[in-house]
A and B are shown apart, each in its own frame.
Chain A
């Protein structure tokens, strides 16, 4: 290259400026020569020294998660071992997460009924769920975090029968309550909830606090019946499934201002159960009602009341394994010859 004929090089102290290549000032000055950086040598700044000790990450090995299982991981558990899936249906704050956490918390002290704790792969999820019912949260009253919208996740508990030592797995499907309630207006939404088709016990919650409120108690009946009807209409329930109707927060019902209010709430719950039985007894293998208090507020009752009975129901032999009797469907052969019967067996083939 002939250096003598080369154009004089243009310099700029701004390292981002390409005025030497394209003649344009990066600062947007129309006449680049009037820019304060033009013609000045490039400023070379010493690079900051990296502190390797701060930058380097320790070579860690990932360990199994302890969060709630996504559907794919739950499917793996289902294929791996005998498993009871429990679906929990109810509006926001009806006590779905309290039921899940309530069982876990009871196991902290002792086996629950005939079932002992045999492990869990979702201990972080359980601990997070029960934190606000523990004194470590510094709360005045037990509280449960709202379940975030999105696909259902599963809490996993391995249980062992204390006598037979038979190991069983419980998977509790957890989805935000509003998603289930929306099926009342659009039953087809339930098609996207695979836990409904797969669960062995569909557990529908009736909020005890709302049953005490005259303006809300009828809505509780509606929520229970219309939601189950929506699941049926969209054909998301199965005849081998069990249905548990659970009155939650029984402690609050008992603590009502007067006895008459308590009795009215309990009678209303009985009416809900009766209505459900009348409408859906043909649709489920069995329907049972329960009254529980997973996490009572204000010192109004024993923690975990009624949970032992409910757990025993959840952990019953799944209905999908029981024999079903199907009536024989005899269709007459299309051809006349096929319809002939032997005379000694009562055939009248004249």
Chain B
């Protein structure tokens, strides 16, 4: 089931809030783990800081941060593990606020595209003015056409594989179509709350960096329908920014005993300052500050 798994964050400060959305394994939990480590370790500059260790669901935060430090993959958020994580934060300007993360299972978000329904508990978190939308930079379901494939097969002189016809289901829709629809729903009743700020986080940016493009250019090339919609379809009162985020830094070790240790993970573990694994790209600017998108959303 092509379900949305959403880790929903709500930041409440000066009546501002943030909701975090994304497809399964789009990097939300890794982001949260890296963010918690970065805030606790205080080794790199950041626009937001955590003055206290106190946090809601602190054991969970510490567990995922521990996995992140060890260079191990995060477990997928499952439906029976709904929880709300909260943390106290200070901005550089001295504003204090509480960051809350109602961590919602993906099936609830699958309803939005597939069943045209949204759970009441999810609705309450979607009234946030700031939206952080995660998209895995290299795990994108793209549409493929029979006509294009047939033409390619003809040129290469190979025969196309044949099989049983598969009827349409909403889950077959390309990633960009599902995301466009999600954004459209956020602009229509009952989810419309007026103007919002939208930060697109292209996660696993280290895998996309080789294309030598800015996050915005990468989005235009790999998700062109979404890119057109962001520039021409979003309500004029919405503001939008695209970030490339590498919270993990490299391919991590798997959980299985038979899994070979990852060379990338070893390299990451060898770094003296783990927070330096993190890279956040905003246009031409590069930093280790994972709080930058949150800060922009709250500004």
List chain A positions with a Cβ less than 8 A from chain B: 58-66, 105, 107-111, 116-121, 123-124, 127-128, 130-142, 158, 160, 162, 165, 167, 295-299, 301-303
| Residue B188 lies at the interface, judged by CB distance under 8 Å to chain A | yes
19 other A-B residue contacts (CB within 8 Å) besides A135-B149, A136-B143, A301-B147: A58-B120, A59-B119, A60-B111, A60-B120, A61-B117, A61-B190, A109-B224, A117-B225, A119-B184, A123-B181, A133-B146, A134-B143, A137-B146, A138-B162, A138-B166, A139-B146, A142-B147, A299-B154, A303-B148
Beyond A66-B116, A118-B233, A123-B181, is A108–B166 a contact (Cβ under 8 Å)?
A: no
Residues on A with C-beta less than 8 A from B152 are 299
Interface residues of chain A: helix, strand, loop or mixed (majority)? loop
Query: Are B170 and A63 in contact (CB-based, < 8 A)?
Result: no
Residue from B117, B144, B150 in contact with A298 in the complex, judged by beta carbons closer than 8 Å: B150
- How far is A62 from B168 in the complex, measured between Cα atoms in Å? 22
Beyond A63-B191, A297-B147, A299-B150, is A110–B181 a contact (Cβ under 8 Å)?
A: no
| Pairs across A and B, CB under 8 Å, 11 listed | A61-B123, A62-B117, A66-B181, A118-B228, A120-B184, A130-B143, A132-B168, A133-B147, A138-B163, A138-B166, A299-B147
| Residue B213 lies at the interface, judged by CB distance under 8 Å to chain A | no
Query: Are A165 and B148 in contact (CB-based, < 8 A)?
Result: no
Q: Name the residue on A nearest B182 (C-beta).
A: A63
Interface residues of chain B: helix, strand, loop or mixed (majority)? helix
Q: Which residues 100-152 in B have Cβ within 8 Å of A in the complex?
A: 111-112, 115-120, 123, 143-152
Task: Kindly provide the distance from the CB of B132 to the nearest chain A CB, expressed in whole angstroms.
Answer: 21
Number of interface residues of B (CB under 8 A): 51
Beyond A61-B118, A63-B117, is A296–B228 a contact (Cβ under 8 Å)?
A: no
Query: Are A111 and B146 in contact (CB-based, < 8 A)?
Result: no
Query: Are B228 and A116 in contact (CB-based, < 8 A)?
Result: yes
Beyond A61-B120, A108-B224, A123-B180, is A133–B145 a contact (Cβ under 8 Å)?
A: yes
Query: Are A108 and B174 in contact (CB-based, < 8 A)?
Result: yes
Residues on B with C-beta less than 8 A from A167 are 232
Residues on A with C-beta less than 8 A from B153 are 299
Q: Name the residue on A nearest B166 (C-beta).
A: A138
| Residue B265 lies at the interface, judged by CB distance under 8 Å to chain A | no
Residues on B with C-beta less than 8 A from A139 are 146, 165
Query: Are B119 and A58 in contact (CB-based, < 8 A)?
Result: yes
Q: Name the residue on A nearest B184 (C-beta).
A: A119
- How far is A66 from B120 in the complex, measured between Cα atoms in Å? 20
Which of B188, B191, B228, B229 has most chain A Cβ within 10 Å? B228
Residue from A59, A107, A134, A141 in contact with B225 in the complex, judged by beta carbons closer than 8 Å: A107
